[in-house]
Chain A
Amino acid sequence: MLKLRDGIVELYRKVATSLPPDVEAALKAAYVAEKKGSNAKQALEVILENIRLARETARPICQDTGVPLFFIKTPAGLSQLELENTIMDATRIATEKIPLRPNAVDILTDKNSGDNTGIGFPVIYFKETLSNTLTIDLMLKGSGCENMGQTYKLPMEELKADRDLDGVRKCVLDTVYKAQGKGCPPYTLGIGIGASKDQVTRLAKEQLMRRLTDVNEAGVLLKLEKRLLKEINELGIGPLGLGGKTTALGVKIGVNHRHPASYFVDVSLSCWADRRGRLIW
């Protein structure tokens, strides 16, 4: 597990200091699309320069290195407890070495643990698979954007949102409108729909692990993702909320079955610094 521990430290480094190619490409395209001399173009210019600088100097892209969020697929027979301990060790080392900002604060004492570990910190989800390989997906999600996410219970009169995909569409637009520039747009959106609050929130986060370029297998969701991306970009909020054409880079939707009485929608926003990465072991 020592080698794996070092592998996870390196995964932390990669995710904290560089962006996935699909996200960087989308930001470059946004820069080209924005009007010359606009606040939006200037903001994106600084963002792209920041990405380059962070990668070259191996420094965190953003000072808020977030809440580490792990989605792990394990082969049968691998101890999850041991894996969790390895992640805790790797987190302490990564916090010191990269460095990451210590973000784990005790609710009762208000003290920061200093090493990014604590109760339920990092967040780790396991799933056993038939495959022989261990797949570790890590997202460093800043809390500026985390604070801007919303959960809805449909129907919702205020938005005239029924229990259908058009109701979902209205919820998503409402979330982005309420977020304005506070969560560092252009955003990537993960949306989860299903039966219970805890499940849709996790499902929304799982959507954020998808590449911007991937294609939703459910045609009706693919259509809604495309429509939402177009409509969000018509709101005019723009990069960092300074106005402009690019308010979102991508929209990803996932569904679970629901209960006849429930229709929960969770909308999770990622800031432009959509920091995710994968380690296959």
Chain B
Amino acid sequence: MVKEKLSAISYQPSGKKTKIINLPLTKKDVLKLKVGDVVAINGLIVTGRDRVHKFLFNEKPLRKNIPFALDGAVMYHCGPIVKKADGEYKVMAAGPTTSMRVEMYEPKVISGYGLRGIMGKGGMGERTLKAMKANGCVYFHAIGGAAAYLAERITKVAGVWKLEEFGMTEAMWLLEVKNFPAIVTMDAHGKSLHKEIEKVSLFNLKKLI
């Protein structure tokens, strides 16, 4: 569900209208999102980085064998710092990791598990962009390194999968987020801000060398 609304949260980067996103997303929701949109995400997201991608790509576990619903979900490229105190998990720091490392796996993960959003930093390549267009999925760019700030927007750890096997960093965490800020930098219409910036910077580079 995407509603156009002015930012109404305690701290949100100023200057642009913020679209409020309530998860899970439908294809219709995703198609409304465009490169440049500033969003605030609410609901449940799952983390997945190098190990999760390698696992989903190679082992192809059935959807019913994954404890969390990935249909319409946002997968966050993140290896958080999580502390266990009094039997409860608390996320201490949870910024995005570099998305490009999972470029070779992502198209199959998107099409195989029905993801509607990928969130990370640095953007992704041509193959993922194509898969996003074909399946109806967008890329949310979170603010790299802003781990304390983003952890404040995680209201609850709702579950974890593969913790023993993959470890804290690489496990799949189910996190409840509120007003989690990001910018759409790749959309389901084949547009990518990263492609644009790369083009501009190549033009500038050629002038300098």
Residues of A within 8 A of B (CB): 36-39, 41-43, 45-47, 49-50, 53-54, 57, 59-65, 99-103, 111-112, 114, 142, 144, 147, 159-160, 169-170, 173-174, 177, 180-184, 231, 234-238, 240-243, 271-273
Contacts and interface: CB of A to CB of B under 8 A. Distances in A.
Contacts of B92: 59-60, 63, 99
A46 B149 contact: yes
Contact of A100 (B81, B146, B148): B81
Contact of B145 (A47, A182, A237, A238): A47
A99 B148 CA distance: 12
Contact of B121 (A36, A101, A170, A184): A184
A101 B168 contact: yes
A46 B209 contact: no
A241 B194 contact: yes
Contact of A101 (B16, B38, B152, B169): B169
Contact of A235 (B15, B152, B193, B201): B201
B145 A272 contact: yes
Contacts of A37: 15-16
Secondary structure class of chain B's binding surface, majority of residues: mixed
Among A60, A180, A240, chain B packs the most CB atoms within 10 A around the CB of: A240
A112 B146 contact: no
Given A37-B16, A54-B147, A59-B92, 10 more contacts: A47-B146, A53-B148, A59-B147, A65-B81, A101-B80, A177-B202, A180-B123, A235-B204, A236-B201, A242-B197
Among B13, B92, B145, B209, chain A packs the most CB atoms within 10 A around the CB of: B145
A235 B185 CA distance: 19
Contacts of A59: 92-93, 147-148, 151
A174 B208 CA distance: 10
B201 A42 contact: no
Nearest to B198: A180
A99 B202 CA distance: 40
B148 A102 contact: no
A42 B145 contact: no
Given A46-B149, A60-B148, A62-B93, A173 B197 contact: no
B81 A53 contact: no
Interface of B: 11, 13-16, 36, 38, 78-81, 83, 92-95, 97-98, 100-101, 121-123, 141, 143-152, 167-169, 181, 183, 185, 193-194, 196-198, 200-202, 204-205, 208-209
Contact of B197 (A47, A65, A170, A238): A238
Contacts of A177: 201-202, 205
Contacts of B144: 144, 181, 184, 240, 271
Contacts of A49: 11, 146, 149
B201 to A, nearest CB: 4
Contacts of B198: 180
Among B16, B147, B194, B200, chain A packs the most CB atoms within 10 A around the CB of: B147
Contacts of A61: 93, 145, 147-148
Among A63, A142, A238, chain B packs the most CB atoms within 10 A around the CB of: A63
Contacts of A272: 145
